[in-house]
Amino acid sequence: MSVQETQPPAMSGLRIGDTAPDFEARSTTGPVKLSAFRKRWLILFSHPADFTPVCTTEFVELSRRADDFAARDCALMALSVDSLFSHFAWLRLIRDRFDVEVRFPIVEDPTLVIGRAFGMVAAGDYDSATVRTTYFIDPKGVIRAMTCYPANVGRSIPEMLRTLDALQRVDAEGALAPANWTPGDALLRAPSHDLDDVYAAENGADWFYRDVPAKAPR
Ligand code: BEZ
């Protein structure tokens, strides 16, 4: 397993706008290389441990919604410190108990080298029990959004899809997604940077707050 850091100092954690550090590792679907996922969106997410209840619900729900991520040209990739064989055993139990096959790759990171490069765990941490981190990585390999949840609260899969929809739509429209935006809602125009627009606006707020007409939902 190896990590090529592109943006020091990776140990302190990555930020929105950083290029995701490339890595190669073993996974449940064979060897993976992060940069091989470019040209598509990728959601890379860590989970605290295999064989834990909240993580199990996340994997079941993500697998049930796998087609929805694929429809958005977005791959999923999970990561934890557990070994490849632990991942296999857990996936087999998930299939037997929930009748769901997890088909996206789950990476093993037993030395935390990837988790540290991404800032999922702090430099001095010796276990990963605190991390439930999610990175939304765009087709150029740039981190566009990230979330961090505690071990005892599971992520919302609808919110992951909504965030992905919002990122893809603001890119396509050169616009902004307001609070609570969901597909079908209006986006907002980026505010003008030109004082003439400020004075020319018919309504006092128009220069910084205006809808882009909504498009039909997908
Ligand atoms: C869970 O996924 O249920 C879990 C993981 C780590 C600590 C506690 C709970």
Taking only the tens place, the pLDDT of each residue in 2-44 is 565 444 443 457 999 999 999 999 999 999 999 999 999 999 9
The letter for the amino acid at 105 is: P
- Average pLDDT of the residues in 123-133: 69
For a pocket test of ligand 1, which of 54, 80, 106, 155 has the largest count of ligand atoms closer than 8 A to its C-beta?
54
Query: What are the angstrom distances between the C-alpha of 7 and each of 33, 42, 79, 123, 143?
Result: 17, 19, 21, 16, 12
Ligand 1 centroid distance, CA of 54 (Å): 6
Rounded Cα gap, residues 106 and 45, in angstroms: 9
CA distance 210 to 199: 15
Which residue out of 52, 61, 127, 155 has the highest number of ligand 1 atoms within 8 Å of its CB and is therefore the one to mutate?
A: 52
CATH 3.40.30.10 fits 2-154, yes or no: yes
**What is the pLDDT averaged over residues 194-202?**
92
Please pick, among 3, 14, 32, 55, the residue that the annotation labels catalytic.
Answer: 55
Examine the residue annotation and report whether 148 is marked as an active-site residue of this protein.
no
Please answer whether residues 107 and 120 qualify as being in contact, where contact means their C-beta atoms are separated by less than 8 angstroms.
no
Ligand 1 atom at minimal distance to the Cα of residue 56: 2
Q: How far is the CA of 30 from the centre of ligand 1 (A)?
A: 26
How far separated are the first and last CA of the chain, in Å rounded?
A: 39
The CA 134 to ligand 1 mean position distance, Å, reads 16
Residues with CB under 6 A from ligand 1: 48-49, 52-55, 129, 151-152
| Residues 62-76: tens digit of each pLDDT | 999 999 999 999 999
**Is 45 or 203 the better-scoring residue by pLDDT?**
45
What is the pTM (predicted TM-score) of this model?
0.90
At 7 the pLDDT is 43
Bigger pLDDT: 101 or 216? Answer: 101
Q: How far is the CA of 44 from the centre of ligand 1 (A)?
A: 18
User: Stretch 201-210: mean pLDDT, rounded?
Assistant: 90
Which residue minimizes the CA distance to atom 7 of ligand 1? Answer: 151
pLDDT (0 to 100) of residue 122:
66
Domain boundaries of the chain, sorted by first residue: 2-154, 174-218
Where would I find the H helices in 28-176?
53-64, 66-71, 84-98, 113-117, 157-173
The answer to whether the Cα torsion of 146, 123, 53, 80 is positive or negative is positive
